[in-house]
Structure 1
Amino acid sequence: MSLVLRDNTGIARFLASLGTDVENIVGSCSYARTRPCIDVDTAVKLSTTSARAGRNTLVVIAIDAAGNVSRSTYPVDVDNEPPARVRPTVEGGEAWRRTNGFVVRWPAPAEALAPVVAARYRLCSPSGCFDGRLEGRNVNSLGRFLLSQPGEHTLQVWLEDEAGNQSFALSASEPLRLRLDQEAPRVTFDAPNPADPLRIAARVEDRLSGLDTGDIEMRRRGGDAWNTLATAREGQSLVAYVDDERFRSGGYEFRARARDVAGNEASTDRRGDGSQATLDLPVRFTTRLSVGVRVAKGRGKRVSLRAEARVRYGRRLKLTGRLENADGQPIDGATLEVSADSPGDDTGLLPAGQARTDRSGRFTYIVRGSRNKVVRFRYAGSRRIRSATRDFALHVRAASTIAARPRRLRNGQTVRLSGRVLSRPLPASGKLIEVQAFFRDRWRTFSTTRANSRGRWRFDYQFGGTRGRVPYRLRASLPAEGGYPFDTGRSRVVRVIVVG
């Protein structure tokens, strides 16, 4: 601070004190002169460290050459602490972006003794750090901050108050990341891999934000419609596999599109050597799969495989098959996945088992006649061999028990036919039963009944008009119905003798 002290005899000595810090200065005097001492016009430095924070009193005492004392006091506001640490944020977050311009803000800190007059910041990039200062009373933003180069930067902010307090070590914020990437990625297709010919890979180079997403598309050579393939990310590559069962034979072109984390996009249809990315289908060896029941036909009893069969309920059926390549060579040691569905069942195909080919490429599989079903055999193939699928249709006849009581009766008496439906599940309304008798050289339905929810049924019939001793052949027929997964089936035949 500056002190100006004047007196007609001059100033012999003066003291200045703030807190416990005291400056005691003796003036320049010579009592041989008419005016012994000179006036004071000087700067005095007092430390504020011993003063308390807030309002203090500065005391100045002056003594002239005649010994007269003058005392003056002045209010002094003391603030020795730097402003509180701030928590800056960047609009839009700290993620990578492709547009330069970062608006950095922070909430105003709690009211301090000395007001904030400037914001200081340190910006660090891979090439080094730079410190800056932005003046402004109670400043709470750096405005729109532009980076001089792309890449990842860190920004730390701290405040300076009117008392000159500021400290990077004590008040600097946690590093805020500013990421800028304005470069599009570089995309190139890899060369085909003979060991995995359906694998299409595109390598993506992006030195800053890195690969985020992308996809690979294909179209018929010279065509217009692009088909997007299921694309996965493997490291810094996009990888897709061509479904050669879905796409017909012929030539195909490919296109890859990549997007980095900052949102920059690039696409290509070229390999690393500049050639166009193409593929001619098929590239895997063709396979042939046959499955069914063995049937002998013709005079020479030539054996073939029939792809469907109708069996009794509960019967086991042996299926045979063969897996071979286009030249008829067996594919041995291959595993076939077996699945089955049922008409009218919304569950779709469900795993049922597996079959494995022997050295001749043949395999067997046992199915049980539990309901109508389609049994699907699928060889998944390999990277060099195409997959193959074949279906076998199994039709199962409905089944029921039957009993007749009594088995011998006179004309005018009643026979009770009863039984239980074996082929389940049953329709919600119960199963329709047709009661049939054999006469005039064929089976005829003469009445119907319905089984209950437990599958049990019965039917009473009174004979009339029988003359002599007549044997009757009776049976139950279970017709096919919607929602009932069985073909028409019949019970065994029971005989009843009626005497008239």
Structure 2
Amino acid sequence: MAATLTAAGILAAPSATHAATYTIQQCHSQTNYAVSGLVGSFQGAYAYTNQACDPSSRTVGAALTASGERSGGEFAQVTFSAPQGTSLDSISARRTATAGAARANGAPVARLSSIPSGSREAFAAVAGYPASGQGMIAFALDGDRSVSWGAYCEGTSGCPVGDTSYSLQDIEIRLRDNQAPSLANVAGTLRSETDRARVRSLTYDATDAGGGVFRERLIIDGSERSTELADANGGRCVLPFTTPTPCKPDMSGSVSFDTSTLSDGTHQLVLDVRDATDENKRLHGPWTITVDNVPPAVGAPAVSGTAREGDVLTCTAPVAGQTPEVRFQWIRAASDGSARYEIPGATNAAYTISAADEGRKLICRVSATDNGGTADRESSITQPPFADGQLVSTYCTNRPTGSTDECGDLDGDRIANRNDDDLDGDGVPNLADSAPYDSSRPGSPASPSSSTTTTNTSSTANSSTTLVGGTTVGAAGTVRFLLGRETAVYVGKQARWVRSSFKMRGRLTRPDGSPMGGLKLFVTQAVNGKTVALGSTVTDPDGNWAFQIPRGPSRTLVVAAGDGVNAATLTVRQRVTAHVTLRAIRKKIRSGGLAQFRGQLRGGHTNSREKLVEFQVYFRRSWRTIGTFRVGRDGRFSVKYRFGTAAYGRYSFRARTMPTDGYPFAVGTSRGRTATVRVG
């Protein structure tokens, strides 16, 4: 008959007192029968321990074999001790135990016990009969330091007659760990409240006195957004655990986070570091970060004002972002939005319309940039002030046209007063006329003090232009070029095309009117900011001077004089229209056929990297741009245009230059060229 001796606690449930715990598996089928931290010990002959999980039986245990007489106190056992900072909470396993029949004065026992509590289960032979047990066990260990199982010979001698052993498999040992990890030196771009990078990171140092530092969590706005192992510790700090201290007790960790998963704006972060129990934790935070990964949102720009030369247009647009930088760019375009040209310097919300914009539409582009990138949006060419096909009108459109208004015509010569060199038509230019609005006082020269007045002048094609004191005058006119004064003259009526040079003339006098003869004058010109000396001349005894100006582009001409005490300059701004030619290779084309044109931009200063010419067709009572193109260094260009199969009739084409930085000519157009399209 078999007998079993049990001590208090056999098959008891785990402790009801809550404690943070972690579990390790030993000789377990789920972890490939790995073992760690088991120590075997024995005393006496024919005593055996197997703490390495026997490959044949897949068990961990100890045995005393029935080989001869034994003395009391001999044993064989396997022990597991809780690592520093922990204690034992419970053990569960599949157990096999046998106690051989005892001899006289001997008591073989198969037992599991813990220190300091003592025996948890024991099998002992009674009255010469063996004892055995097999099945699942689960014992609360109540915070003990170690647990042992094995075979023991108790009494004085004579044990055992049969083998005595105790072995376990599929062991799960639960360890108590009530100390939270420590956390220090948290730093990095993810910890910064000013960094705007999309992917950010932080580093930290952590220590733990129990099972080690296990997991790091990133909590954002109260929700867990990132959970990672702090350090896998060579695969040991991965569930299910198989070692007594599975995770590193002292380590440096890092967290990387892609903020593109968050909305733009501010967010609250907390770093949560936990030990092997996954309950004990140390928190760092909260702190605030700003996310800026998405470009600003730019609403539809609205343009207000009148589309007329000289008027001011204002652009507004709603912009939402993380303190974005907002920029403006005004664009000149054809009526259909093509032939776009970014106007240099037009980078403010307000733009004053210039003469170069006449007959065009203006587009406002609003760009907004923050750390998330740049977004832009343009105003519509079909919204006010450009709705219903409206284009930029001339300066005088809908302005007063009274005889003395700037858009009136005092002398009836069909030239608006603002552009008329001789307002009253008396033959004396305004600069030289003491009463420019009174034709009854012809030929009356202005006083010297009026010589600084700016007057529009002109340079005409194929002829010399005489500039006396900075203005074009008749043979009888005279204007003093006063030493000690500066005269600036703008050539408003531009030359169509200067094929020949022209002569500048003037007279140099002192403030009292006396002539300055024999004084050397120096003449320079500036084109695109580059100044070149043209030469010099000398005044005659009566102070008269003349200088032949070579042909050229739009430029600023400066005549300078000085006598060592006083100095004077005369500045003339000459504006020259570009000269562009166009001819049709074939003037008659069938429907669906290809029209070809060739042309040339005269005068040099071309740049093959920029588009300088627009190709236009006259359609429905207006010139419409159908393409833009570059020209060669010699100014030559060619254009091809294919008609639709339904086209027929006569069509006029022309080339028109575009206002471009670095091209020193005003806008010019070629003569219209006709192509006839025949049906069939």
Question: Fold match, TM over 0.5?
Answer: no
TM range (shorter): 0.3 to 0.5
In the superposition, the TM-score normalised over structure 1's length comes to 0.42
In the superposition, the TM-score normalised over structure 2's length comes to 0.33
